[in-house]
Structures are given as structure tokens and as C-alpha cells.
């Protein structure tokens, strides 16, 4: 069953090109959603400018002002609820989130990661892929669980590693695929085509029905 337009809360730390891709997809009517609030842990994140340029409410929550991750996440949850958010997107959000956030939005916290998980979780996906010598890299969109980049996978897109690639060049090509994969995954959620099954044994699995 279709969920209807998603009320998105987008968490960012940096440049916000994935946020821009979400705005672009909404404006192109490829994504049935509205960004209700953009939250950054960094005051200087350029993503905030992108939100302001569209009149979208922004909020800076500095993680350093909190005693621990749970207290930080509790404040994030408060702001997300204030804006009636139904689905949370981690779009270049460089903090590890806790069950405080995850349990507040069950199966509705989505992360985009610049590697083909489960390879190369963490903060330097493209550089690690390059250092390992893989020939195919890419990005992953997944639901967030209690681990770091371990949650059930919604979508992945691959990128060939080119001879002479450095981490920045590879990351830039992966980013292009993120900008496709993330809005598409969100639209699949909006259309009610994404199901998470939790078998008694083994990992939870996501099924994305085609249209």
C-alpha cells in the first residue's frame, strides 16, 4: 500500500549533494516527498545553505554539547517529531546513531554509504576500496540498524574502478550513483514497495517490488 508523500527529515554534516539530489527529485516529481527539516551537527555545513535556499527549516545540533550519543540523538528525535517527520535520511551524516533514533522511526531511518556494503563500512569507503584493490566499487542505500553500516540493504549501484583513480576521483563517481540510488529508494518507500522481512534465522532482508 502506498504511504503517500514522505515527510522527510534529512541529517547532514557536509556539502549536501545528496540533499540536493532529493530536492531535485522532488522538484522533478520523481520523488513524492517533502523535506520538513534539515538537521546538521556542524554549523558550517554547506548542506544548510542548500536547505535555506529552498526555505526548508534547518537546525544545528552540535554533538559536542551533549554528554553522550543517546542524549544527542534524543534531541534530534525531538526536532524530527516537532516537524512531523515520518522518514529520516542520513545524507552524509558523519555520526554513529543509537537505538534512541532507530527505535523512534522503525525501518524508517535510511542511510547512503559510498561503498558496496558489507565491504568498507565506516568513514573512508572509497579510499578503503581503492587501497584494497577492488575493481568494482559503488554505493549502498540501507535501513539503519544498531551496527555501523550493517542494516538491511535497499539498493546498491556499482561503479568500475578506473586505472589511475585516486580516492577523490572514485568518490566523485560513486557520488553520482548515490544521487540516483537514494531518491529512487525513497520513492520506492513512498510507493509502499519496500518490505523488510525478519526471518527467525539470518539477517533481515529487504524486498523492493518493481512497479
Biggest CA-to-CA distance, the chain? 48
Residue nearer to ligand GAR on the CB measure, 16 or 80: 16
Q: Where do contacts with ligand GAR occur on this chain (CB under 6 A)?
A: 12, 14-18, 47, 91-92, 94, 112-114, 123, 125, 175, 178
Nearest residue by C-beta to ligand GAR?
Answer: 92
Residue nearer to ligand GAR on the CB measure, 49 or 197: 49
The burial class, CB within 10 Å (0-12 / 13-18 / 19+), for 7 is middle
The minimum distance between CB 205 and ligand GAR, in angstroms, equals 22
Residue nearer to ligand GAR on the CB measure, 144 or 189: 144
The minimum distance between CB 49 and ligand GAR, in angstroms, equals 12
36, 9 in Cβ contact below 8 A?
yes
Residue nearer to ligand GAR on the CB measure, 105 or 120: 120
Q: Would residue 122 be called left, alpha or beta, if left means φ above 0 and alpha means ψ between -120 and 50 degrees?
A: left
Cell numbers for 62: 552540535
The burial class, CB within 10 Å (0-12 / 13-18 / 19+), for 176 is middle
The minimum distance between CB 111 and ligand GAR, in angstroms, equals 7
The minimum distance between CB 39 and ligand GAR, in angstroms, equals 13
The minimum distance between CB 108 and ligand GAR, in angstroms, equals 18
Q: Is 60 helix (H, G, I), strand (E, B) or coil?
A: strand
Active site residue 179: no
Residue nearer to ligand GAR on the CB measure, 91 or 110: 91
Q: What single-letter DSSP state applies at residue 158? A: E
**Partners of 87 in the β-ladder:** 8
Q: Would residue 108 be called left, alpha or beta, if left means φ above 0 and alpha means ψ between -120 and 50 degrees?
A: alpha
Catalytic, out of 83, 113, 124, 179: 113
Catalytic residues, by residue number, are: 113
Amino acid at each position: 500500500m502506498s504511504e503517500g508523500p514522505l515527510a522527510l527529515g534529512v541529517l547532514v554534516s557536509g556539502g549536501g549533494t545528496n540533499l540536493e539530489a532529493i530536492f531535485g527529485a522532488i522538484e522533478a516529481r520523481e520523488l513524492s516527498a517533502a523535506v520538513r527539516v534539515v538537521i546538521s551537527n556542524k554549523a558550517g555545513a554547506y548542506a544548510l545553505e542548500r536547505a535555506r535556499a529552498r526555505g526548508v527549516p534547518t537546525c544545528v545540533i552540535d554533538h559536542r554539547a551533549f554528554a553522550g550519543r543517546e542524549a544527542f540523538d534524543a534531541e534530534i528525535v525531538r526536532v524530527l517529531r516537532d516537524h512531523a517527520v515520518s522518514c529520516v535520511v542520513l545524507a552524509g551524516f558523519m555520526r554513529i546513531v543509537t537505538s534512541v533514533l532507530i527505535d523512534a522511526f522503525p525501518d524508517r531511518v535510511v542511510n547512503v554509504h559510498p561503498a558496496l556494503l558489507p565491504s568498507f563500512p565506516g568513514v573512508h569507503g572509497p579510499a578503503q576500496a581503492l587501497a584494497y584493490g577492488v575493481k568494482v566499487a559503488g554505493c549502498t542505500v540501507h535501513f539503519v540498524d544498531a551496527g555501523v553500516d550493517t542494516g538491511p540493504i535497499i539498493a546498491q549501484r556499482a561503479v568500475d574502478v578506473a586505472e589511475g583513480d585516486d580516492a577523490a576521483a572514485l568518490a566523485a563517481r560513486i557520488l553520482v550513483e548515490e544521487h540516483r540510488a537514494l531518491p529512487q529508494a525513497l520513492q520506492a518507500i513512498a510507493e509502499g514497495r519496500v518490505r523488510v522481512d525478519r526471518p527467525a534465522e539470518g539477517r533481515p532482508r529487504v524486498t523492493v517490488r518493481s512497479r
